[in-house]
Chain A
Amino acid sequence: MTNLPASEEAFEKSKEMSTGSLDQVLDHNGEADLQSMGGTVFTAAMFGRNLLHLHRPAPDDNDGDINGGYWNRHRHIEQILLQTLLGLPDHLRLPYGLTDPNVVFANMCLHTSAICLHQAAIFKADKHHLPASVGNESKIRCLTAAAEIASIMRMISHMDLGVVSRLREKNSVST
């Protein structure tokens, strides 16, 4: 499976560095080895999982059953997200990694991923008249994640958002 990228420093200085694979981060608590670029890769993978989870239903999904395929998958993705957020290494946490645009973006995307997952869950819970606690729990998760995004946005609002753009950064290096 996909191997994750090394740190910026190792890349620039052509140093050898061992990084885990995407599979290790997703299923085997490998998030401690994540580097900043790997964080972006990981969040992209989570968005992809979310997309498949919602738009490629399996025959045993049984949306109305809280122990059916859909809800099991929901809990699995939720568990990966939570476990990653809990186990993030210090250099990928905020406010320590505030100067690295990849770290800021990865943190925002993890919360966005949680919102996307739970918005769908709220809708499904409503549609199939599941116990109110299911929907309420998801609503609270959405709200806390949204508050977290707003808080990150407040943290980075002092920076010039255009200047730190990845595309511009490359231009300034080459000139």
Chain B
Amino acid sequence: MNPFIAFCVYVAARVFAQYLMTRPNDQQIKSSLRFLLQAMQALRRKNPLTESFLAQLNVDLETAGIQGLQQKQYTPSKPKLNQIPVAIQDMTESIGCHFQGPGKMLAR
């Protein structure tokens, strides 16, 4: 998709944010705004331009005083699923290291 699609999404999200300033209880608009935020989060993974629009949108949301929509901060290093928790590391050694953590087990 064209990288500038993020701009379209940002402009739409801003309009919703402005509307919510006057009518904060409109749940339909709120859920649309939430969806657009999620869409931008998804776009960001493939399209770095989205990052700057997202940062600007977060500033807009703060000035509009809209709570409860802020996304979790970007965390580049996610905990690995197949990492063995410290508490059971000794146990896995005793059963011959066949235990590979929940991620791999589910994948089988």
B23 smallest CB distance to A (angstroms): 10
Contact A161 B47 (CB under 8 A): yes
Using Cβ atoms and an 8 Å threshold, which residues of chain B touch A40?
2
A171 smallest CB distance to B (angstroms): 13
Interface stretch (choices B11-19, B73-81, B90-98, B100-108): B11-19
Using Cβ atoms and an 8 Å threshold, which residues of chain A touch B7?
112
Contact B2 A161 (CB under 8 A): no
Known A-B contacts A161-B1, A162-B46, A164-B1; the reply to A112 vs B8 at CB < 8 A is yes
Q: Type the 1/0 row for A105-123, where 1 means its CB is closer than 8 Å to any CB of B.
A: 1001101100110010000
Q: Count residues on chain A whose CB falls below 8 Å from chain B CBs.
A: 30
A114 smallest CB distance to B (angstroms): 10
| 15 extra A-B contacts, CB within 8 A, seeds A146-B15, A156-B1 | A105-B1, A105-B4, A111-B12, A112-B8, A112-B12, A115-B12, A143-B15, A143-B29, A145-B12, A146-B11, A146-B12, A149-B8, A149-B11, A150-B16, A161-B46
Known A-B contacts A161-B42, A161-B47; the reply to A153 vs B35 at CB < 8 A is yes
Using Cβ atoms and an 8 Å threshold, which residues of chain A touch B24?
none
